[in-house]
Structures are given as structure tokens and as C-alpha cells.
A and B are shown apart, each in its own frame.
Chain A
Amino acid sequence: MSLEILGISVLWTFLFGYVILASIDFGAGFFNAYSILIGKEKILSKVIQRYLSPVWSVTNVFFVFFYIGIVGFFPKTATYFGTILLIPGSIALILMAIRGSYYAFESYRAGHKGYATMYGIAGLLIPPALSVVLAIAQGGFVTIENGTPQLDYFALFTSPLSWSIVVLAIIAVLYISAVFLTWYADKAQDADARDLMRRYALIWAIPLIVAASGIIIELRYHNYMLFENLLNLWWMFAVSFVLWALTTWFIWRKRSYTAALWLLVGQFAFAFFAYGIAHYPYLLYPHLTIHEGFTNQAMAISLVIVFVLGLALLIPSIYLLLKLFLFDEEYIQGKKE
């Protein structure tokens, strides 16, 4: 395996981690705000806060890790994406800033309507702002003028493809988060919260598959190469679909929620990696590939070494965090403070 493929695989994996963790986080924030606004806060807030409190700052690091990693392994992305993403990137940053800080503010004024609404809504707007990058990266919206890339905002905002990606991002956030919180509430032996989240999970299951399929169809007209690559990986999407069906079935039949959660992670992993593989070798179609954009050998090797050492430090720490807060039944059930 060449270093650039190793690099992009690691980064794509971290991005996947961010997508899952952030979806849980953003969705939970939205459900929290929604339940406070419609007066059901007693059901949800407790469960949501027990999970969110210890892990919120960790989620954000996954995002920064991906960004620093991509600039380190593929420095040319800084010039290509840095120039065109000024506006969407700044908007995403502002939303993330509002969300992150208001989350912290709200945790000291639990149930504060204004703060909860602020971070709930900001959280739901971040996925669209970030997922626009995926729409841009698959090509068609960027031209190179005098050596600098230019983004065609009109084409981007009038393209059905970008809007489909936005819709999918929002639905995915709500669905992933609802499935996770169903499992978490079940662990917490909080039947009211579990039933509510289970209902949300079932509501968003069908729209999710419709939105995801819609994107593949639209790509046929937008980027035929990517579309063909996706079709060649049909089996990965088939596996993803089966996993989705199983997740929904488990939740529908109120069977093992733990299995449902892992199946959900599998479903997204297959779809996410299939998309990533189909995108290969382009970072920004058709202007930049991972081979042209790759850093020098010395930097690549030192980054890989630091990555391995870093993981050796982090994996035990993350294990400790998960053990204390996610897999400790007494903590989840609120028997420990």
C-alpha cells in the first residue's frame, strides 16, 4: 500500500468517526431543544446530558484531526479548498462556535430555552454547511482561473445534487442520533425516553434510504465517472442496505438495541467507504488527485510515525473514557454522579 493511500484511508476513517460521533451529538442537541420547546424535556434531557457531557470536546477533536491530517498529507488541498471554501467554511465555523460554546453554557443552565434552542438549531445547520464540501469535491462547481480555483456559487446552490446531499446530511444526523439514543435510553432503563427515541428512529428510517438513493441517481447526470464507480461497488451498497433493513427490523420488533446500534454503524461504514473508494483518486474532481496533492516522503513518513505513537497514547485513554461513561451501566442509569 502506498503512503498516499494509507494516508487517505486513515483520514477517511477519522472522518467517518467524526460523522458518527457528531451526528449523535448534533441530533441529540436538536432532540433536546425540540423536547424542551414542546414541553417534553423531562423525558429526554437527563439521558441526553448524561451522554453528552463527558464527550462533547472529544467529538470536535476528530474534526480538527481530519483537517490537520489532510493539510499535512495533502498540502495542496489548502490552496484548492482554502480559497473556495472561505464562505461555506466560515459559516460552518461560526455555527460550530455557537454550538460548542452554547452547549457549555447550557450545561450550567440546564433547561434554559434560549441556549438550548441556539445550540440545537446550530447543530442541525452544521451538517449541511459541512456536507457542501462533498458536493464541491465531486466536481462541476469549480473552475481554475489564472491558476486560482473559483467556486461557482450559483451553480452550487441551484444544483439538485447539492440540495440532496444537504437533505441526506440532516436526515442521517436525526436517524443516527435517534438509534443511538434509543440504545442509550434502553441501557439507562428509561422506558419513556427509549420509546420516544425509538419512534423518531423509525420515522427517519425510510426518508434516509430515499435520500441516499436519490443522490446516486442524481450523480448519473452530474458526474458519470463517479456514478459508474459507485455502480461497480454495488455489493457494498447492497450490504449497507441489508444492514439498514436489519437495524430497522430490530428497532421495530424492539429486539436487541445493541445489535441495532452496531448494524447502524456497519451500514454507514459500508456506504461511506464505498463512496470514498468511488471518489478515488480524486480529492477535487477533476483538478486534484491524491497523487498530485501528496506531500514529500520525509513529511509523510514522520506523520505516519507520529500517528502510530499518537494512537498508542490515545487508544487507552479513549478506552478509559468509554469504559467510564458509555459502558458503565450504573453510570448510565444515573446511580453514579
Chain B
Amino acid sequence: MFHDPVFASRMLTLLTLSFHIIYATIGVGIPLFIMIAQWLGIKKNDDHYILMARRWARGYVITVAVGVVTGTIISLQLALLWPNFMELAGNIIALPLFMEVFAFFFEAIFLGIYLYTGNRFKNKKTHFLLLIPVAIGAGMSAFFITTVNGFMNAPQGFDIVNGTLVNVNPVLAMFNLASPTKIAHVLAASYMTAAFILAAIAAFKLIKGSKHTYHKKALHMTMKIGLIFAVAVALIGDFSGKYLAEYQPEKLAAAEWHFETGEGAPLLLYGVLDENQEPKYAIKLPYVLSILAFGSPSSEVIGLDEFPAEEQPPLEVHYYFDTMITIGMVMIAISFLYWLGSRMRYTFVESNWFRWLIVLGGPLSMLAIESGWWLAEFGRQPWIMRGIMTVSEAATTSDYVGLMFVLFALLYLILGIGTIVILRKMFANNPLEKELAKVQSTQGGEQ
């Protein structure tokens, strides 16, 4: 299979994106929490929050470093693996790509300044202000890159007349129909995942016997903000479904195993496909798909039968869809129970079994991010630019992609292990108690 450059290119892109998205999600999400913690620290005059911001920022740097290199890799692989796509894309959608570089540039500069100026400013607020461009730069990066992905799903802003590209309008291409829901979904999901990863760390420390209020404050803050973003992700996800039903019905139909166009469409949850490609063991909720897609039980939802077989996305995207929404719902439930439990002073909130659930929530949220992207990317097949260019037309003809896959797989293994080892060492060598004592002895929150 790896002798086929198209297949090998798809697999290498899958590998790189699946690895990069872990770091990208952390890279977009964490700065918001560093900022909130630092702000709370200044406002409440509480060293715990200042230290929280500093410790998170320190770990964040490692993930940014790896995210920078994997981001460089994916952007160059677009040209190395999909040269024909990149030529067309360069002509129409280069604008947000270009803007993304500036946004990241901006973020990188201020992150560098923030990290290495711990005690150079007399006023603590000046140091805090440096975080604003970091968080904005990270958010804008996600914004611009996601518009490019939106464009691949809903290409617009150009005409093709007799095989030549005319009337290119880069701004129209950038503000394509797929982007609003996609960007909102990506940003909210990044903040949600960052919150639950930080919560998982705090919960883990509490399970391991740390009685420190530092961890309780961290857990409390991240779970509450996590709940808000988890609900936001679900609401935005609903809009994404409505967008798909209207403009990209084949993706929705494949995700929901909705084969025949019809009114009052049922929603299928879970289940597997048998040898005849028929769903088995699925939970069937009558009318629900029509309601979700258009807001009324009688509305007509387009099924896969409207599309020729070679233009249908693979049916396994249903599994990614199920994984994503199940985790999303579970995370809303866990964070809601946490919020309710702490408010009503229920004891289960402080129990180990519940904290283990929170610990599990961190990796689960990341899995939901991965599933969401697999749904988005496999669900666009066979197109790389929907209706304009297929992945086979876009791919390189080089015979060595399979070999490169092996090399990059090894690289990601090394980077992944390296990240974990370094993060563990970093915090093991700087235990909280020691650092807190140091902060308090040098009065206030200065480094």
C-alpha cells in the first residue's frame, strides 16, 4: 500500500496532523489559562496563582517548541506531499497562510519576552500585559489556519473557466462559509481541552496525597472554565451540524450513516457496519437527525444516495463522530457534577474515584480533538478541495513517501518521548513546595 504515493501521502499527513494537533491544541489553549491565573494572582494578591501562571508557562514552552517544529513540518509537507494542491491553494488561499505567519511571529516574540523578563519590570502588571499578545497571537494563528481548512471544505472566491483560474478574490476565499463554525469549534475545543488537561494534573496531584490548596485552586478554576467551554463546544458543534446539512450534506450523511434522503430522518448513535454495509446494534432516535439538522422533525435531510459512490466519504467517520460527541457529553457531565458538587459541598467531589475521572478527562478531551479532526478530514474524502480537486490529483508522484513515513514516525516517537521525559523532570526538580517557599521569601510574586 505504501508504494502508492497517494496512499502514503495521506498516511504521512494523517500522522503529522495527529501528532501536531496535540501540541497545537495545547499551544492555543494554555496561554488563556496562564493569563487568567496571572490576573487572578494580581487581583487577589495571591502567590499561588502567580506561581501557577509561572509553572504552566514553563511547561508550555516545551510544548510550544515541539509545536513550532511540527507546525513547520506540516506546512512544508503541504508542498512536499500535495504539490498540486499547494499550487492551487497558493493562488487562492495564500492570504490567511501569510497572516498566520505574522500572528505566530507576534506570539513568539512576546512569549520570548514574557519568559525571560520575570523580574525586569517593577510593575507586576507590565509583565502580565505581555501575555495578552501571546494569547491573541495564539488565537489568531488558529483562526487563520482554520480558515484555510474551511476553504478546503467550501472553496469560493474564484472561477475556473476552461481550466484556468480567473476572478480570484482572496478575501472572499478567506471568509468562506465553512469557516465561522469551524473556527469557533476549534477555539472553544482548544480552551476546553487545555482546561481539562490542567485539571487532570491538579486532580492527579491531589490523589497522590498533596494537600496543598494550590492544587485545589488550580482544579477549581480549570474545571469551572472547562465547563463553560465544554458547553460552548457542544452548542457550536450543533451549528456545525446545521452548516453541514445545508452545504456539505455528504459529510453529515456519512457521519450519521444516513443513506437515503428523506423527511423525519432518525439519528443513529454507535453501532457497527455488517458485511453488507448495514448498521447493526445502533441506537436509533427517530426524527432527531432532522431536528438537529434543520430544527424541525419533518425537514428533509440529504442522504448518501444523492452522491455517486466515488464521491462518498468513508463510512468509518461515524465512529470518529461518536467518539467525539460522547467524550464531549461526558466532559460536560463531569465538570457540571464538579461544579454542582463543590457548590453543594457534596463529599464525592473530594473522593479519589471522582478525581480519577477528572484525570481521565484530560487524555479523553485530547482524543475528542483527534476524533474531530479525523471526522473533518476523512469526511471530506475523496476531495482535498471539495468539488475542485481530489486527493489523488493533488498528491506527489514521488516513490519515496513510504520511506519518509517511517522516518517521520521515528521522529515523532523521539519528540513525544522527549516531551514527556523533560516535562516530568522539569516539575520533579522544581517541586511546588520548594518554589512556593522561595516566592514567599522574596516578597510578592516576583521571580
Contacts and interface: CB of A to CB of B under 8 A. Distances in A.
Contact of B113 (A94, A109, A320): A320
A109 B407 CA distance: 26
Contacts of B82: 82
Nearest to B399: A86
Nearest to B172: A298
A235 B439 CA distance: 60
A75 B408 contact: no
Contacts of A61: 101, 104-105, 108
B87 interface: yes
Contacts of B426: 108
- Scoring B77, B82, B91 by chain A CB atoms within 10 A of each residue's CB, the highest score goes to B91
Given A68-B98, A103-B65, A298 B414 contact: no
Among B80, B95, B415, residue most surrounded by chain A Cβ atoms (within 10 Å): B80
A337 B94 contact: no
A40 B315 CA distance: 61
> Range of interface residues on chain A?
35 or more
SS of B interface (majority) = helix
Which of B83, B171, B396 counts the most chain A CB atoms within 10 A? B83
A324 B120 contact: yes
Interface string A300-325: 00110011001001100110110011
B168 interface: yes
Interface stretch (A52-60, A213-221, A274-282): A52-60
Given A103-B65, A108-B422, A85 B80 contact: yes
A269 interface: no
B98 A307 contact: yes
A83 B404 CA distance: 13
Nearest to B9: A86
A79 B84 contact: yes
A86 to B, nearest CB: 5
A295 B89 CA distance: 11
B407 A68 contact: no
A296 B165 contact: yes
A89 B227 CA distance: 43
Given A67-B76, A317-B106, A82 B98 contact: no
B296 interface: no
B418 interface: yes
Interface string A36-56: 000000000000000001111
B404 A101 contact: no
A317 to B, nearest CB: 5
A310 B115 contact: no
Contacts of B98: 68-69, 72, 303, 306-307, 310
A76 interface: yes
A187 B69 CA distance: 32
B406 to A, nearest CB: 11
Interface in B376-429: 396-398, 400-401, 404, 407-408, 411, 414-415, 418-419, 422, 425-426
B397 A102 contact: no
A179 to B, nearest CB: 23
A299 B97 CA distance: 12
B120 A71 contact: no
Contacts of A299: 91-92, 94-95, 168, 170
B86 A82 contact: yes
A75 B91 CA distance: 6
B83 to A, nearest CB: 3
A59 B118 CA distance: 22
A101 B170 contact: no
Interface string A140-158: 0000000010000000000
B65 A101 contact: yes
Contact of B70 (A73, A97, A307, A318): A97
A96 B83 contact: no
Band of interface residues on B: 35 or more
Contact of B425 (A55, A81, A109): A109
A103 B415 CA distance: 12
A310 B102 contact: yes
A78 interface: yes
A86 B105 contact: no
A63 interface: yes
A134 interface: no
A78 B112 contact: no
Nearest to A310: B102
Contacts of B99: 306, 310
Nearest to A316: B109
B79 interface: yes
A324 B73 contact: no
A87 interface: yes
B69 A81 contact: no
A296 B168 contact: yes
A64 B120 CA distance: 31
B79 A90 contact: no
A57 B111 contact: yes
A96 B74 CA distance: 13
Nearest to A336: B120
Nearest to A83: B83
Given A103-B65, A299-B168, A68 B94 contact: yes
The 10 closest A-B CB pairs, nearest first, are A75-B90, A82-B83, A104-B65, A72-B94, A78-B86, A82-B79, A310-B102, A97-B69, A100-B69, A57-B108
Given A61-B101, A295-B94, 10 more contacts: A58-B112, A60-B69, A75-B86, A86-B396, A100-B69, A101-B65, A299-B168, A310-B105, A314-B105, A325-B116
16 contacts: A58-B105, A65-B105, A67-B76, A81-B79, A82-B81, A82-B86, A83-B398, A86-B398, A87-B398, A96-B69, A100-B72, A102-B418, A103-B65, A105-B422, A310-B102, A313-B106
